[in-house]
Amino acid sequence: MNCSQGTILRILRKNDIPLYGNMISDKDGEEICRLYQSGLSEEKIGNHLGFCKTTVRKILKANNIEIRSQHETSMRYPIIEDYFENIDTQNKAYILGFFYADGNVGLNKRTVQIALQARDVHILESMKREFGCIERPLIFDKRSYRNSNKQDVYLLTIKNNKMHKDLCRLGVVPQKN
């Protein structure tokens, strides 16, 4: 019928059609639990397996799996959020220097961003490894398209209150780019 099992369940319930037994197989239940514990969100699991988010949550609760908090869920890409709490390594000092030169903190008290020329993308990749967020995508900004005098850049954008606060304390200023 080209619709998810969750949609069918809602239609059945709306029309007072009785349901017999569990419409989710043990195999699907195990897969839901496995995917959630590997870090996927309830919504992504539902989309992947054809269930609604509510059904996924019910299966997780039925299997005594602790549901992540809203804060944990909003952290799409994990990060070492206290990275700049203490500048106690050469790498931290080096990266902080890059933030002084080419980075900024947003006025919204959450966003941390650094932009480097496209030819220096390997430096941003190294920073992602240092921050423990290797899966976080970089944003490509083709600035030369708008102005031939400008260089294309890659941006690393992080939304994290703790990192933002620490960088402000260390003297990185809002939106200097």
CATH number corresponding to 90-169: 3.10.28.10
Confidence of residue 3 (pLDDT cuts 50, 70, 90): confident
**pLDDT for 101-153, tens place per residue?**
999 998 876 889 999 999 999 999 999 999 998 888 888 888 777 778 888 89
Extended strands (E) in 4-91: none
Domain ranges across the chain: 5-74, 90-169
Contacts of 174 (CB under 8 A, 6+ apart): 104, 105, 106, 107
Region 41-60 average pLDDT: 84
Mean pLDDT within 9-16: 78
**Are domains 5-74 and 90-169 of this chain identical in fold?**
no
**CA 130 to chain centroid:** 16
Q: How far, CA to CA in Å, does 51 sit from each of 8, 21, 23, 24, 58?
A: 10, 16, 11, 9, 11
Provide CB contacts within 8 A for 87, sequence distance 6+. 93, 96, 170
Domain 5-74, CATH among 3.30.1340, 1.10.10, 2.60.120, 2.30.30: 1.10.10
The residue-averaged pLDDT of 8-18 equals: 76
Of the pLDDT bands very low, low, confident and very high (cuts 50, 70, 90), residue 160 is: confident
For position 74, what pLDDT does the model report? 55
CB contact at 8 A, 27 and 35: no
| Per-residue pLDDT tens digits for 74-92 | 566 778 989 999 999 999 9
Tokens at 174, concatenated: 């809002």
| pLDDT tens digit sequence for 51-78 | 888 888 889 998 998 887 765 665 667 7
